[in-house]
Amino acid sequence: MGQRDLEAALPAGADPRQHARALAKVHEAAVAGRALPARLRPVIHASWQRMRKLGVDPEGRAAAPVLTFEQLEARRRTSGLVQAMPTLRGGLISLAEQAAHIMVIVDADGAVLWRDGSTAVSRHADRLGFVEGADWREEAVGTNAIGTALVARRAMQVYSAEHYVRSQHFWTCAAAPLHDPRDGRLLGVVDLSGPAPTVHASTLALVDAVTRLAETQLRTTHLTELERLRGFAVPVLAKVGEPAVVADEHGWVAAAAGLAPVDRIALPAGLAPGRAWLPAYGTVAVEPVPGGWLIRLTESDAETAPATRVVLDVRSAREPELTVSGGAGTWTHRLSPRHAEMLYVLASRRAGRSASELSLDLFGDAGRTVTVRAEMSRLRRHFGGILGAKPYRFADDVEVLVRRPDNAEAVLPHSLAPAIRG
């Protein structure tokens, strides 16, 4: 998943109680509309700005469950998180109980699906409405580690009066997003929460490490399934007699014949048997096989490169999308915040950007080229011939259109990238 930025809420060497008092003064000033007596962390400042625009009440009451028991059970089954729960519970439950914390797992929409840990802390959480079935997005309960991690899509720790709603000031929370390694889709957020005096920088690192471990377990399960598909695919491809691949439903290639090997190809949502257009191959014939698809190229298709049009839609703060059309079809892919930032920069600079230039664009630091190269490698594997390298850019024969919100400040509002905010 690449290197993650971990920023503890408590400055190194700071006294927790003194820092909490300083944050309370900043919160009072912000709520009253006065100049802040001290600077907030950028990610918290950006979240508070969102809260004011949304009209979130800093004196808000306890949240209320929004899911019935039947709805909660259905969410759990379809969340994609069930397979990760043994790893998460094994890594966090005992520590949560020992450290006076609770472990909370929410889905990608911010619904609390599971809660476990300290009984005493659970009773405090009950009074906040921090219960299974509750909506814990920023829009519902203000700035918090879970909701803000859903927006920023990175590990977060929020302490005391960094929470926008005053009733949460006696809490400290550390949360990390969990992604499906098969397609990069956000599955949800893993959180440890407890009383503010229990704050510790290592909590964030622990939550992030266990979340990574759960992603690794999901990846291992997927590789086992892909190996099973490969055993079926090899004899099938031997009989096809033309360039073809067998891929699972997420586009991961189990085996190929007559084509340069790739790890993954981009498949449109709702792929059905028949003819389809793929960025990597053009127009293809698609047939279902157990656990995936047989994708065949005809000789004429392999030699023809259809005109390609790309639409980068950043009008939605939560769900930026890339739509690709050409040849015989159109498909849309939901983007992670980091990939949306990178594609937005490349769409704005068609001549391309080097790794160091992209690093400066995204982080204000030209030295983070390892992270840039890793993310661009993922993008290029996923989007086939749409993106080029040396420099990184959209391919010359691709038409690119960017759809932005009317308000320039609403473009990727989670982003702190200089190229976006500038």
Residue the block writes with tokens 């950007």 = 353
Q: What is the mean pLDDT of each run of 10 residues along the chain (422 residues)?
A: 68 91 96 94 94 92 85 94 95 91 96 95 94 95 96 93 96 96 91 94 94 96 92 87 89 89 80 79 83 79 58 84 69 82 92 93 91 86 74 86 84 85 77
Q: Which of left, alpha, beta for 80 (phi over 0: left; psi -120 to 50: alpha)?
A: left
CA distances from 329 to 191, 226, 292, 384, 387 (A): 40, 27, 20, 16, 19
CATH fold of 16-220: Beta-Lactamase (3.30.450)
Neighbours of 254 (CB within 10 A): 24
DSSP code string of 359-405: HHHHHS-TT-HHHHHHHHHHHHHHHGGGEETTTBEE-TTEEEEEE--
Residue ranges covered by each domain of the chain? 16-220, 243-303, 308-421
E strand map for 25-119: 102-107, 112-117
Distance CA(293)–CA(287), nearest Å, equals 6
Any idea what the Cα angle at residue 218 is, between residues 212 and 221, rounded to 5°?
145
Phi, psi of 329 (to 5 degrees): -165, 175
Whole-structure pTM value: 0.75
* DSSP 8-state class, residue 163: S
Please list, in sequence order, all residues whose beta carbon lies within 8 angstroms of the beta carbon of residue 349, skipping any fewer than 6 positions away: 393
Radius of gyration of the chain (CA): 23
pLDDT at residue 299 in the model: 56
Q: How far apart, in Å, do the first and last CA atoms of the chain sit? A: 27
**What SS3 state is found at 63?**
coil
pLDDT at 384: 58
Report which of 380, 107, 88 is spatially closest to residue 216, judged by C-alpha positions. 88
Q: For residue 151, which of 80, 62, 50 has the smallest C-alpha distance?
A: 50
CA distance 47 to 169: 16
The topology (CATH level 3) of 308-421 is Arc Repressor Mutant, subunit A (1.10.10)
Query: Would you say 84 and 113 are in contact if contact means Cβ atoms under 8 Å apart?
Result: no
Write out 215-273 in H/E/C secondary structure: HHHHHHHHHHHHHHHHHHHHHHHHHHCCCEEEEECCCEEEEEECCCCCCECCCCCCCCC
